[in-house]
Copies of this chain bind each other. A is one copy, B any other.
């Protein structure tokens, strides 16, 4: 596909109007929405109102008058369709790490006789740290990390929970969540999914998958802003039994009665704990508006098309200079594509210097995310051209691009 054909296809795309709701900086092709989603002017405006009017003027009254108390529930209502869940199955709160801790602890209590937390070596490292942290605290769990392609072979009746990240943060490989959930259930284990690299970009269907628990973040494809709140899903069938070890007044049935006795709120809301971060919650509520008329299947299809176009163009224009480590079958990948190159760090920085923002995942991957809400086909074409030109020129191979960066 050449640039003209790409522009024509962009102009006919049913989601084309959504790009205009984002404010992307001029001169930049932003292919890192899978790390930090872009800002929408409506979000900036909402935040100004929260800061100046609600906090500054309303002060404590805004918990009632501006509806701050209801924010976690309202955000859950907007997030639910992106996850194939009901609002009562969602708590929007805390970091993804803290939520995973709570979810695994809940799974442990739902399967108290079982001793194994099973995960794979493609999981995000934090998720494995969290599992080990829980195991060390309870003293009666073992974390088993197995090769990602063999995970189903390790499911047996000793496994309390299978905990996986839906899309590999490095390779972009997507697990078949419905099948693996079914396989876990066959041996009586629970399935706990991390959807950080999926929600807002892919066809996530927690209820249809029969998932038990799930977590994820909202600062990637949901565009909630840097460090936006995480979420925790509990399937309705567990609402009577699921408990959280990290309790707080916002997860109480009557938070403002200040009862000394703990009585969990109904549904997933019991997984809330302390006072919600109002600025981030308000930003997220507004950021999710753009999804109101979008089906997750349409996002998934556009992600498949953008990633597919990128892969095809890399094959054509760059070929063997890089290795495409992301699956070529669309259903087996998420919304990002990673290229292996021995000097990936310098290559990433050189691309950023040219205005093409991806990121580096050590040791040897350059990663490109394709946000279905705002990335265009023309940007994909231009990004590949920049990469091809850079590789052909050798211009990335300079000390200026070998900087110590903590992120990217």
A residues lining the B interface (CB < 8 Å): 23, 25, 28, 30, 32, 35-36, 38-39, 43-44, 47-48, 51-52, 54-57, 59-64, 68-69, 94-98, 101, 105, 108-109, 121, 125-126, 128-130, 132-134, 136-139, 145, 217, 219, 225-230, 243-249, 252, 255-260, 262, 273-281, 283, 352, 357, 359, 361-362, 405-408
Task: List residues of chain B with CB within 8 A of the CB of A406.
Answer: 63-64, 69, 255-256
- Partner of A279 from B54, B243, B280 at Cβ < 8 Å: B280
Other A-B pairs, 10, CB within 8 Å; known A97-B273, A138-B138, A228-B277: A25-B56, A55-B226, A69-B406, A94-B94, A95-B273, A97-B247, A98-B274, A101-B247, A125-B258, A226-B278
Task: List residues of chain B with CB within 8 A of the CB of A68.
Answer: 226
Least CB separation from A25: chain B residue: B57
Task: List residues of chain B with CB within 8 A of the CB of A243.
Answer: 136
> Considering the chains assembled together, what is the distance between the CA atoms of A132 and B403 in angstroms?
48
Q: Point out which of A108, A129, A219 has the most chain B C-beta atoms below 10 A from its C-beta.
A: A129
Task: List residues of chain B with CB within 8 A of the CB of A59.
Answer: 25, 28, 30, 32, 36, 38, 357
Q: Point out which of A134, A217, A256 has the most chain B C-beta atoms below 10 A from its C-beta.
A: A256
Least CB separation from A70: chain B residue: B406
Known contacts A274-B95, A280-B280, A61 near B357 by CB under 8 Å:
yes
> Considering the chains assembled together, what is the distance between the CA atoms of A28 and B58 in angstroms?
10
Task: List residues of chain B with CB within 8 A of the CB of A108.
Answer: 137
> Considering the chains assembled together, what is the distance between the CA atoms of A279 and B284 in angstroms?
12
Q: Contact at A246–B133, with CB atoms within 8 Å?
A: yes
> Considering the chains assembled together, what is the distance between the CA atoms of A151 and B314 in angstroms?
69
Q: Contact at B132–A407, with CB atoms within 8 Å?
A: no
Task: List residues of chain B with CB within 8 A of the CB of A145.
Answer: 260
Task: List residues of chain B with CB within 8 A of the CB of A244.
Answer: 133
Known contacts A25-B57, A60-B359, A94-B98, A247 near B277 by CB under 8 Å:
no
Q: Contact at B32–A60, with CB atoms within 8 Å?
A: yes
Least CB separation from A95: chain B residue: B274
Known contacts A95-B94, A98-B94, A283 near B279 by CB under 8 Å:
yes
